[in-house]
Amino acid sequence: MKKRFFTWLAILLSIAPVGAVDFRAVGPSQVPVNQSFQIQYIVDEKCNDIQIPSMPGFELLAGPFTSTASSFSFVNGKRTSTYQKTFTYTYSATKEGTYTIGAATVDIKGRKYRSNGLKITVVREQEPQTATTSSRTNDDSSRPQRTQTAQSAPSIFMRTEVNKTHAHEQEPVTLCYKLYFVGVNDVQLAGVTKMPDFDGFLKQESNLEQLESHVETYNGRQYNVAVVYKNQLYPQHSGDITITPAHFEVVYTTPGAERDPFGQMFGYQEHKTLKAPAVTIHVDALPQEDRPKSFSGGVGHFTMTSSISSTELNTNEPITLKLDISGSGNMKLIKTPDVKWPEGFESYDPKVSNSYQTTDSGMSGTKSIEYMAIPREPGDYTLPPITLTYYDSEAGAYKTLTTPSYQLHINRGQQRKDTEVSDYSQEDIKQLATDVRYIHTNDLPALEPNSAMPPAIQVGSFGWWLCYLIPLIIAIIVLIAMRRYIQANADLTQVRYRKANKVAQKRLRNAKKLMDENQTGAFYEEIERAAMSYLSDRLTIPTAELNKETISQILAQKNVPEPLIKETEQVLSTAEFARYAPSMNQDMNTLYSRTVELINQLEEQKL
């Protein structure tokens, strides 16, 4: 019995290495400080989750980027296959020294596997790299070759940049998502996987007419950099507000000469999802002490000038006051100042026109306001000054702008016939008899003899009853139809629900026309509006509360299949990103077809 047990044990031990999982970590043994490098975890089995060790002294720049490779072959009628999955992380060393990196773990079919550890020496940036103990057996000619390979190693990642991390309420903050890449070619953005909701901010998009790359030095290394997304954020409350990470999909080509003799000609195309890190903005509340009652909500730096059309005029003649507010800041949030017209003036709603553009310091330009009034009584009047109070973020204080007062002299003018009532003459009264509303008081003319008269309807006859029944039946039908119409349209939510598809189809037809005319920006805007307005009406979500996370949650609650939810998120993300980055070669025809198919599939769901 014991002999049989040891025999089976020996067989199992001999078989175990054949089916063992190969999970290993690969990384450089020596790197310069502030220099980016990559660590790869390679496993030959399918897995999704990986747990990497903590790495004090290193900053994670990007990752994980995943890539897979598989192959199979037939030899003597036998089929063999290989599979390999690689997790790539990009780090930067922040301090010199020697560091021991622990093992990473993966979960494969319920079992955990550990990789090997790494030992990395961080040297000063100006020092040349030297071979480690494990590579001292190599000849000296290989050392400069390894240094050159490390310097030119492919690297691609996203960064989140803000022009300030400390701001006041309503003070503009510029947010940029930048794509950094080196050692790769033909970089393209394939779409936006996830974009922050920007909760706590009022968002103003910036126009990126064309994405152009430039060279920028980051952590001692030169990268090609492209700004893929930019907007202005206006904090709406005080405290720490966190902008959650954004995820972008990129496609690029890496040279493959080291892996394939044909790599120099074709290269290797890879598809990865890059994560732009989260960022936190500390927002200070505007000072409450000494806060003027005339505060308009403006934050920035502004000037104000005024002009008046005339200071002497007649009654019933219009007078125009023009106000120009110029500067930079949250121009859109400045309230229109009130003008206190003297008593006896009939005033009208002001006309506002804006001429400004988005800059890193906020909205910059001029806001012009025209006030119009008509004096009704003659006399001398004083038009009091107009005040505008704003918070100067640079000076850290409230400032009040004031226009001069105007002295107005109103002369008596001609009386207006359209509003003033005058005495009527006797001739005018006599002419009233010709009006169509005049009642004829004379006797009706008598009919001539032998003239044709309509046949009389005898009381109680069939025709007599029809004269009463037909109007009654028509009235009942109209009443029933009106009641049904009122009931059907009483619930505005249900009305929007029923008309959701019609509105979406109308926008899609307009988008198709824009696509045929090659109006790229207008096409993407119309596609996004078609999808968002359809989901807003169909799911009865107010437009102000509409975002991808809310849409996904409600669709999941309504038992919509997961693939359809994912397709909804991807279509919305692609349309949103293509709208602000139309130069990234998005396929308009494909996006249009996906949007039409998405709306048709959602129509089949019982939402």
Q: What is the pLDDT of residue 575?
A: 78
Q: What is the pLDDT of residue 448?
A: 56
Same fold, 155-284 and 492-604: no
Rounded Cα distance, 33 and 98, in Å: 11
Rounded Cα distance, 519 and 506, in Å: 17
User: What CATH topology corresponds to 492-604?
Assistant: Four Helix Bundle (Hemerythrin (Met), subunit A) (1.20.120)
Q: What is the pLDDT of residue 71?
A: 55
Q: What is the pLDDT of residue 450?
A: 55
φ, ψ for residue 597 (rounded to 5)? Answer: -65, -40
Q: What is the pLDDT of residue 145?
A: 39
DSSP states of 107-133 = EETTEEEE---EEEEEE-TTSPP---G
Please tell me the pTM assigned to this model.
0.42
Q: What is the pLDDT of residue 452?
A: 53
What tokens does 415 get? 């009386």
Give yes or no for a contact between 592 and 512, defined as CB atoms under 8 angstroms apart.
Answer: yes
What tokens does 118 get? 């790494």
Is beta strand 213-218 parallel, antiparallel or unpaired with respect to 185-194? unpaired
The CATH code belonging to domain 155-284 is: 2.60.40
CA-CA-CA-CA dihedral for 474, 478, 484, 485, to nearest 10: 150
Rounded Cα distance, 379 and 375, in Å: 10
The vertex-237 CA angle with 233 and 239, nearest 5°, equals 100
Q: What is the pLDDT of residue 362?
A: 67
What tokens does 268 get? 């290797």
Question: Which CATH architecture group holds 295-411?
Answer: Sandwich (2.60)
Rounded Cα distance, 208 and 213, in Å: 12
Rounded Cα distance, 92 and 102, in Å: 17
Q: What is the pLDDT of residue 497?
A: 61
576: CB partners within 8 A, 6+ apart: 192, 195, 528
User: Options 2.60.40.10, 3.40.50.300, 2.40.50.140, 1.20.1730.10; which CATH number does 21-131+144-151 get?
Assistant: 2.60.40.10
> What is the per-residue burial (b if ≥16 Cβ within 10 Å, else e) of 432-441?
eeeeeeeeee
Rounded Cα distance, 423 and 418, in Å: 14
Rounded Cα distance, 411 and 417, in Å: 18
Domain boundaries, the chain: 21-131+144-151, 155-284, 295-411, 492-604
Q: What is the pLDDT of residue 404?
A: 92
Is beta strand 185-194 parallel, antiparallel or unpaired with respect to 246-254? antiparallel
Rounded Cα distance, 139 and 131, in Å: 10
DSSP code of 219?
T
**Among candidates 520, 529, 527, which has minimal Cα distance to 592?**
527
Amino acid found at 220: G
> What is the per-residue burial (b if ≥16 Cβ within 10 Å, else e) of 220-236?
ebebbbbbbbbbbbbbe
Give yes or no for a contact between 302 and 280, defined as CB atoms under 8 angstroms apart.
Answer: no
Point out the residues of the chain with pLDDT beneath 70: 1-20, 69-81, 125-152, 205-212, 255-268, 360-362, 414-458, 488-499, 543-545, 579-586, 606-607
What tokens does 276 get? 């732009």
Going from the C-alpha of 139 to that of each of 130, 142, 146, the distances in angstroms are 12, 6, 12
**What is the gyration radius of the CA atoms in the chain, in angstroms?**
38
Beta strands, E only, 315-386 = 319-329, 345-347, 351-359, 362-375, 379-383
Residue 62 burial class via C-beta count within 10 angstroms: exposed 0-12, middle 13-18, buried 19 and up? buried
Going from the C-alpha of 79 to that of each of 19, 22, 70, 519, the distances in angstroms are 17, 20, 13, 53
